Structure 1
Amino acid sequence: MNRQFEKYKGIHPGIVLDRELKKRSFKQRPFALSFEEHPQTFNAITKGKRGISTALAMKIERELGLDEGTLVILQAYYDIQKIKEKEIKCTPNLHILSKGLFWDTDIQQIDWERQYRAVIQRVFERGNENGKREIIRFYGTEKVNQALQESNIRDPYTIYRFNKTTE
């Protein structure tokens, strides 16, 4: 892989490709049509909404004079990055949350993304300070604020206090 692309590890290859095309003053549609690719597919790739196949990557690399495998390697690094992000963020640190908070359910079966309102509400109603901080770290201040404002917890002091401790 070309050294100039080393810095792009973990970034979607379509975004790198879009930047490369702009740098060379190439238009997406004519470029896609030049090797018989659908412009819509090519646009989805350059927006980072679709992965790039090996066959397509090789065609693009030949057309742009890039080292063989550059875009495929970038796609692999991007996929690795996405998996790492998912692993890190899939559950909050359960050692910090009090076991008694989720006494009525199997904590391993909680869908942390779909049931975020109920989780946030329960932790902020019954949890300790460490549990609240962990929930803020896991979901982010904005999502916690939104869930608290939508829930029955109408104590503005709670929201204000935890905003100040996370800033």
Structure 2
Amino acid sequence: MDKRFEKYKGIHPGVVLERELKKRSLKQRPFALSVAEHPQTFNAIARGKRGISTALALKIEKELGLEEGTLVLLQAYYDIRMEKEKWERAKPDLSLLRKSLFWDADIDRIDWNKHYKAVIQRVFERGNEQEKNELVRFYGEELVQSALNTGRTPRSFHIPGASK
């Protein structure tokens, strides 16, 4: 990978490409046509809305005189970053939740998305402020409030940090 692009690891390659085109005073549409790509597709890539294929990356790198594989590697690093972020969002920070709250289940095997209502209701009934705050961070204030309002009995829990 071209050394000047090392600092962009984890950033969408389209963003880097757009900066490179601006630096060289090249317009997107004519450049897209010069590499035989639809301008709309090229624009979606440049805005970070679409990934870049290996074939297109090679054409762009050749046209711009970049080291072969630079954009593909940037796409790979971006994909890795997105996947890691998805993993991090998959469950709350378990170090902040007492296992005793989930005495009847293996806390490591709970499907946090499928059973969100039961989890939220249990933590807001029996949990401390730190545990409640973690669920608000993980699920979001709106989903927590919704889960608390759909229980069998009306609940009026205060969500930490929520406006009254």
TM over 0.5: yes
Which has a greater percent of helix? 1
CA gap of 1:40–1:78, structure 2 versus 1, over 3 A, is same
Contact conserved, 1:62 with 1:68, CA < 8 A, in 2?
Answer: yes
RMSD of aligned C-alpha atoms? 2.7
Any stretches of 5+ residues in structure 2 without a counterpart? 150-154
- Overall identity of the aligned pairs, in %: 65
1:29-57 Cα distance to aligned partner (Å, 9 max, x none):
21111121112211121121211111111
In 2, distance between residues paired with 1:83 and 1:129? 30
- Asked if 1:21 corresponds to 2:14, the answer is no
Is 1:49 the counterpart of 2:31 in the alignment? no
Instruction: Output one character per residue of 1:113-164: Cα deviation in whole Å (capped at 9) or x when no partner.
Output: x66566434422332233213223434xxx22x2344443444xx23xx229
Matched, 1:147 2:148: no
- Residues 39-78 of structure 1 correspond to what in structure 2 (within 5 A)? 39-78=39-78
Alpha carbons of 1:94 and 1:48: their partners in 2 closer, same or farther (altered >3 Å)? Answer: same
How far 1:100 moved relative to its partner?
6.0
Which of 23-32 and 94-103 deviates more? 94-103
Shift of 1:99: 4.7
Unpaired runs of 5+ in structure 1? none
Summarize the alignment of residues 149-164 of structure 1 with structure 2, pairs less than 5 Å apart. 149-150=145-146, 151-152=148-149, 153-155=155-157, 158-159=158-159, 162-163=160-161
Q: Matched residue pairs, number?
A: 155
TM-score when normalising by structure 2:
0.76
3-state SS of paired residue (1:60)? helix
